[in-house]
Chains A and B, each alone.
Chain A
Amino acid sequence: MAELINLQILNRLLGWAGVDLPPSHLAGAVLAALVHGVILLGIVAVAAMFFIWAERKVAGRIQDRLGPTRVGGRFGWLQALADGIKLLSKEDVRPREADALLFRCAPYVSFAASFTAYLALPFSDGWVAQHINSAVFFILAVLGLEVFGVILAGYASGSKWSLFGAMRESAQVVSYEVPLGLCVVVPVFICGTMNLVTIGNMQTGWLTNWLVFHDPFTFAVFWVYFTCAIASVNRAPFDLAEAESELVAGFHTEYSGMRWCYFFMAEYGSMLLVSGLATILFFGGWHGPVPVFDMLGWSSMGGVLQYVAELAGAANFLIKAVVGVTVMIWVRWTLPRLRIDQVMTTCLKYCTPLAAVCFLGALGWQTGMFGLAAGPLWSPNQLMAVKQRGEYRESWVLKAEAAAAAEGSAAQAGRPAASGDRDEPDVSGETEPARSSATGAVGSPLSRKGGVG
């Protein structure tokens, strides 16, 4: 998304308007950020609405009924919108005992965390709002912030039930970050990068190239990941924070109207996010089971055909992510809820050791520990090396190198080096030097600071 919007659409539009605002320029960066933010907000909001509808529809079918049928003509596809309008028109009630400021901002904190994580989630090859080298890390870290909204809501509501919900949520989410992180590390070290675009691109080819089929341990670790993901986004059977039969409604007991709705947008947003992450880390991301576009050669052709291939990739990605969310919905309407101690037991006694064993196992597999061969064991999975392992560099290193090279050449040409008048955020680089040069980002203060080899 970044290149597409920033370079092609945005620049062309601006070029028509006669303004030259490259994303490296402050105003250009703000404009690009706004465009990305709005698009992502649209994606999250539409996804949340879609999943609310899907949840009702799936629950209906599971429970031997129809679910919504009337609103919007057939299938009740406008039901979520109708819900939204209803929620907008509802009174925004705040209990007298509540802490006004915290109570009001808690839903936004929750939603903002869920939304921010999307910044680093690629939807197709290169379609990401912000290329981040450590995207996996960023997503996990930001997703973990969602719990703050919940804790704030529970604390600020001035209700004991809310407080219970918040305490449960904090205990649960913080615990589940451990196995979740361990699970995520497995694909990361197999691929050798935290960059989600690179991880996705390494799984190109037939479906056997998906990381989940890389070895038995990645297959196992996916299920652990999925369990922990359900727990970390607070879905049944781990929805203890809002356990309606125990805590009335948990942390959002006192919320109504739109503020309440934000919690749900955050929940559904997070669901899609963790499913999307699973898709990229384990299920080949935007690569379909059959590499149709690779065979046709469209995906590297450039121009409209590559765009079509990338669009198909995005559809591919979304379908897989939606399947993941549907499985979560399915689980929710099938299983009873666990108890808080059982949730913690599941995390600490089963998920964490399992994830650790898988981690070690995958490590052994990768280094040939189980066989006599010195190299990796045979597997149908042939990860496509985007480049040699030794070539993985953080973008700031690459930038420094590029800048040093440019400085060297500039010195050779006998004119002073163009000094960067603005500090670029460290995380905003691109992995591949080709793209990095394509963005036209030039100059870095790093070279002044002595550079980094």
Chain B
Amino acid sequence: MASHLGDPRVVEFDVRTDEMLINMGPQHPSTHGVLRLALRTDGEIVSEATPHIGYLHRCAEKIGENLSHRQYIPYTDRMDYLAAMNMNLGWALVVEKLLKHEVPERGRHLRVLMAELNRIASHLVAMGTYGLDLGSFTPFLYAFRERERILDLFEEVCGARLTYSYITPGGATGDLTEGWLEKCEAFLDQLAPVIEEYHTLLTSNAVFIRRTAGIGVLSAEMAIDYGTSGPVLRGSGVDYDLRRDGDPWYTGLYRDYKYEVIVQKDGHYPKDRDYPPVPAEAVLGDSWHRFYVRMLEVVQSVELVRQAMERYRAAKGDCGAPLKLTQRLPKGEAYLETEAPRGQMGFFLVADGNAIPWRVRVRSSSFCNLSITHEVCRGCLIADVPAVIGSLDIVMGEIDR
């Protein structure tokens, strides 16, 4: 009997593997919030991963068109809630750029201090949650233990532990309190040896290396093409850091600071002589490198905070007062990107002469970083999807705005 594929009996007894469509998220433990990934899998192998975003869309841009620049600060807090200081700074700088308003020297160092301290906190969370994504729970709590101390410092200075609204256009809501610098110093002294511990638990852990090295490889060209930024871009070996290469309004903050951009050059990271060497399995641009860049940036930020404290002590005067709520913005537009922990965080502001902007646009770093998902998750295993997403270190609040 001749059989053909249309014959239902043939199909019934034919051993076929069907593709399976799986929803990863929005309520999934490792999608870092409310990201939804539609995975098309063949067994454990992911043939297609399509991210769906927007579950946390809070119309931040529309709200910006209805509030004064000063009132908008709390909304910037809620974008990247893990690095609210950096968000505040980004907004403050773009308003100041439009107004051509310079903050005093002391205020400048205060800002560096806060931004870098928040970068440490943010990278600690990134590290901890990455461990969590790979099934290692303990580093997460270690990371939060250190982060708590940073939050204590922030709380002392502005009263909030997550949404600081501290750095405002014109300066900051207040100066540092008495004895704050000593506490910060104590924290940094305590943090430095702990970083070794993290490297033992994760960076140089054999299982961790096997889970991350060579996974989610993002070439330098593709990284730039997709507009990725921050540790994701530098993890691919692109030497680009806005603190050095950005807009003068932003790089001005860091002038006369000494630091090296954390990127692999000539096969070496700036500080890898002190820390675990790059394993042989790792490929430039993979999840391990992204993670490693973040870890080294913590060290870099510690040094920057130390420098900032020193300069803050030396600087005279005040640190700048917040602009008035009704301070009119001159007609015009300004775009400014800052190097937030997750990458280049851009704010675009169009003003028509009122205190309320005509248009606010937020360029989110995680938004672009996430857009590579479908590219790097193609053909990997299901277990690699959290490993890749975690290494991008996304914050949905910032992506959906």
Contacts and interface: CB of A to CB of B under 8 A. Distances in A.
Partners in one complex: yes
Contact of A340 (B138, B142, B383): B383
A277 to B, nearest CB: 26
A336 B28 contact: no
Contact of B210 (A243, A246, A339): A339
B382 to A, nearest CB: 6
Nearest to A63: B141
Contact of B135 (A65, A160, A161, A236): A236
A97 interface: no
Contacts of B49: none
A403 B64 CA distance: 96
Nearest to A338: B207
A402 to B, nearest CB: 55
A64 B135 contact: no
B141 A336 contact: no
Interface residues of B, number: 31
- Centre residue among B141, B383, B385 by max chain A CB count within 10 A: B383
A164 B42 CA distance: 11
A239 interface: yes
Interface in B205-220: 205, 207-208, 210-211
B386 interface: yes
Contacts of B210: 338-339, 342
B291 to A, nearest CB: 12
Contacts of A334: 136, 138, 201
Nearest to A168: B44
Interface residues of A, number: 30
A245 B381 contact: no
A335 B207 contact: yes
Interface in B132-156: 132-138, 141-142, 145
- Centre residue among A62, A247, A336 by max chain B CB count within 10 A: A336
Interface in A326-360: 333-342
A5 interface: no
A167 B44 CA distance: 10
B137 A335 contact: no
Contacts of B43: 167
Given A237-B207, A339-B211, A340-B44, A248 B138 contact: no
30 contacts: A59-B138, A64-B142, A160-B22, A161-B22, A237-B207, A240-B383, A243-B383, A244-B29, A244-B30, A245-B30, A245-B134, A246-B382, A246-B383, A246-B386, A248-B29, A333-B137, A333-B138, A334-B136, A335-B136, A336-B131, A336-B134, A336-B135, A336-B208, A337-B134, A337-B135, A338-B207, A338-B211, A339-B210, A339-B381, A342-B210
Interface of B: 20, 22, 28-30, 43-44, 131-138, 141-142, 145, 201-202, 205, 207-208, 210-211, 381-386
Given A63-B141, A337-B207, A340-B381, 15 more contacts: A64-B145, A160-B20, A160-B22, A167-B43, A237-B135, A243-B383, A244-B29, A245-B133, A246-B30, A247-B382, A334-B201, A336-B211, A337-B211, A338-B211, A339-B381
